[in-house]
Chains A and B, each alone.
Chain A
């Protein structure tokens, strides 16, 4: 288990390079990726339905992208 700080720093750097879909997208993406990794860590300790949880996080992020783009239109 790396210092979460180390992984978080790496995630931040990568998020900074992604296309901005809406205002605050970078922070939202950082939170989504961090949450996904937390679910993965939990799954390693005790089995969970991690696939569904990952999908849920992605759908939530995707829905935000969709709503913001509809608002713009």
Chain B
């Protein structure tokens, strides 16, 4: 299928918009430049609605007409689509290829009341344009479904922001597998083949019954084949159920295990208790040291050494005066004892008599009285002299070095205070960690994991058992079939029915073989091609040695999981890829699927390059816009891009785009020129990705280096 053009009328703000598509094989890209709110999503929906009608609408309660359309007034909405389709048919064993041209028009009338739409039945007309003129197709829906099934619309019509159905973390593992499996099944027609196999098996069963109506061994064996076939189908179905349940349990077990590990990492209780005891000990030691230092500090402030420290100069001066008095003989006083001795002897040193009553004795007694009066004072001075001599001698040997002792005490106090603070901080931290451990929570998580683990083991055992049963029943069936075929050959009456049974078996064998090819070989091809495309898109450091690369590739497992490889590890694309790489992976999968299935249909993507920049943006655009090789069928890609998506890839668009134009919402707030209109609508201009004009010019066009396509100024 290849779009040629579309005309949209009254679909949201697409009041009267014509859309062309490139049909140039060498330049297969159509670029529709439109900023946010300029009709991209509406256009994507309109094209799908044109092909599939209501089935294409996400929400049937949302009106298709524009919000400014008067309530209660009928609005005729239509999409016209001109397209080609090439069909391959087999007639009498010969393949025939034919390309036909069609015109499709879908119309509906909508009335909106109270915000709710009421729509008439859709009118659809499909014409084939032949040499004889336009021929009406009587069953347009059937033909459209054959050309491009509605089940595949999300593969061919993609909203870039929502292009994550296959790797979205919101979906369960088995949902994602189902999405991938269903996409592959739909594109490779596996569902059609499965149905055909079932119907042929029923024909086979009915023919066996016919052979069985003859009686005897044939009937018995026919019945056994039938029973065993039914049993095998039941077991296969059960196996699939168990496999799906196993996948879910595995995911739940991984989640439970992760939750338990996180809870355990928050703290090991025993270790923390030891640390707490240790830190308390250090705290006590520091407090004790600080108390001792505080006493020492107080003692220093009370000590004699402080006096000496403050009055050193004056005390030394006083000691010097006392020494001078001593050296001058003023102290100590010794005259009184000598005079007393002389009085006792009644003879002076000079020989004069000191007998009682003599004037000399009286003079000596008066001298003794005078000396006694000043003696107390002398004694005190003498004592002071001796004390001063001793103190000065002590100070000089350093016993009273108060300054250095004070300095030492202060330094020690500072250090121990620091130790105390650190110990307190550590105690606080350890206590908080202990509080964070929720013992009950850990036990609960452990029980949960065990319970799921137990269910997982049981499920695995069930799977093993069912696989064994499948193998045994399969073997029995093969043996019984052999016997049955042998008996049939011998019976003449059954020749015609036997021939029909042979035909059924041959058809079944062909269909089974096609199914195996599609599911096996094609799945591998899709996986391989997805890997190539993904690595190209993200430029997976192919120049670096293997061990230096972060991402080394992607694949689809036989269980339909999409996985990303990083060296020896498998990454979970839900959580371990950035947004740009997740999108690139989704596009790589869709592209690989459509390429391998050889499906020729337009790929329309809204905002494919959002969240991308640099080499990933370039890589993705390069791949999805590349023209087909000589051996490949025609390709058609339509991208709806904003200015920022186009930035830095203009050169690629120059090379690949066969058609480029711009859509603008006349009510956009950042337009340079005002549009005269009583209501907003989407209008088209012929500006390409490097241009602007009075219709589409925006305030930030200079940022993108756009040039004017015309000389007409804003009005």
Are A40's CB and B192's CB within 8 A? yes
Are B502's CB and A10's CB within 8 A? no
Chain A positions within 8 Å of B597 at CB level? 2-3, 6
Are A58's CB and B500's CB within 8 A? yes
Are B196's CB and A37's CB within 8 A? yes
Are A18's CB and B510's CB within 8 A? yes
Chain A positions within 8 Å of B576 at CB level? none
Q: Does chain B have a CB within 8 A of A72?
A: no
- Give chain B nearest CB distance to A16 CB in angstroms: 10
Q: Which of A8-64 contact B (CB under 8 A)?
A: 8, 10-11, 13-15, 17-19, 21, 24, 26-34, 36-37, 40-46, 50-51, 54-55, 58-59, 61-63
Are A14's CB and B93's CB within 8 A? no
Chain B positions within 8 Å of A46 at CB level? 139, 142
Q: A21-B502, A55-B206 are in contact. Are A33 and B510 (CB under 8 A)?
A: yes
Q: A1-B146, A6-B188 are in contact. Are A61 and B511 (CB under 8 A)?
A: no
Separation of A31 and B89 alpha carbons in the complex (Å): 10
Separation of A65 and B501 alpha carbons in the complex (Å): 10
Are B192's CB and A41's CB within 8 A? yes
Are B507's CB and A32's CB within 8 A? yes
Are B189's CB and A62's CB within 8 A? no
Segment touching A, from B197-205, B229-237, B420-428: B197-205
Separation of A58 and B205 alpha carbons in the complex (Å): 13
Q: Tell me how many residue pairs across A and B have CB atoms closer than 8 Å.
A: 158
Are B517's CB and A33's CB within 8 A? no
Separation of A43 and B199 alpha carbons in the complex (Å): 12
- Give chain A nearest CB distance to B90 CB in angstroms: 4
Closest to A24 in B: B93
Are B87's CB and A4's CB within 8 A? yes
The range of chain B's interface size is: 35 or more
Closest to A43 in B: B195
Are A69's CB and B499's CB within 8 A? yes
Are B199's CB and A40's CB within 8 A? yes
Chain A positions within 8 Å of B496 at CB level? 62-63, 66
Q: Does chain A have a CB within 8 A of B621?
A: no
Q: Does chain A have a CB within 8 A of B513?
A: yes
Which of B92, B188, B499 is in CB contact (< 8 Å) with A2?
B188
The range of chain A's interface size is: 35 or more
Separation of A14 and B203 alpha carbons in the complex (Å): 20
Chain B positions within 8 Å of A19 at CB level? 506
Are B193's CB and A58's CB within 8 A? no
Are A54's CB and B598's CB within 8 A? no
Separation of A42 and B189 alpha carbons in the complex (Å): 13
Closest to A68 in B: B499
Contact pattern, B 125-146, Cβ under 8 Å of A = 1, otherwise 0: 0000000000000010110011
Q: Which of B627-666 contact A (CB under 8 A)?
A: 633
Q: Which of B88, B187, B511 has most A Cβ within 10 Å?
A: B88
Are B495's CB and A66's CB within 8 A? yes
Are A62's CB and B500's CB within 8 A? yes
Are B89's CB and A4's CB within 8 A? yes
Are B517's CB and A54's CB within 8 A? no
Chain B positions within 8 Å of A4 at CB level? 87-89
Separation of A42 and B192 alpha carbons in the complex (Å): 10
Are A37's CB and B495's CB within 8 A? no
Q: Which of B576-610 contact A (CB under 8 A)?
A: 597-600
Separation of A58 and B506 alpha carbons in the complex (Å): 10
Q: A31-B90, A42-B142 are in contact. Are A58 and B149 (CB under 8 A)?
A: no
Are A13's CB and B503's CB within 8 A? no
B residues sitting closer than 8 Å to A (CB atoms) are: 87-93, 95, 139, 141-142, 145-149, 152, 186-189, 191-193, 195-196, 199-200, 202-203, 206, 495-504, 506-507, 509-511, 513-514, 517-518, 597-600, 633
18 contacts between A and B (CB under 8 A): A2-B187, A3-B633, A7-B188, A7-B514, A14-B510, A14-B517, A18-B509, A19-B506, A27-B93, A33-B507, A40-B196, A41-B146, A44-B192, A45-B142, A58-B200, A61-B506, A61-B507, A63-B499
9 smallest beta-carbon distances between A and B, as pairs: A62-B500, A27-B93, A3-B598, A66-B499, A62-B503, A14-B513, A61-B503, A45-B142, A65-B499
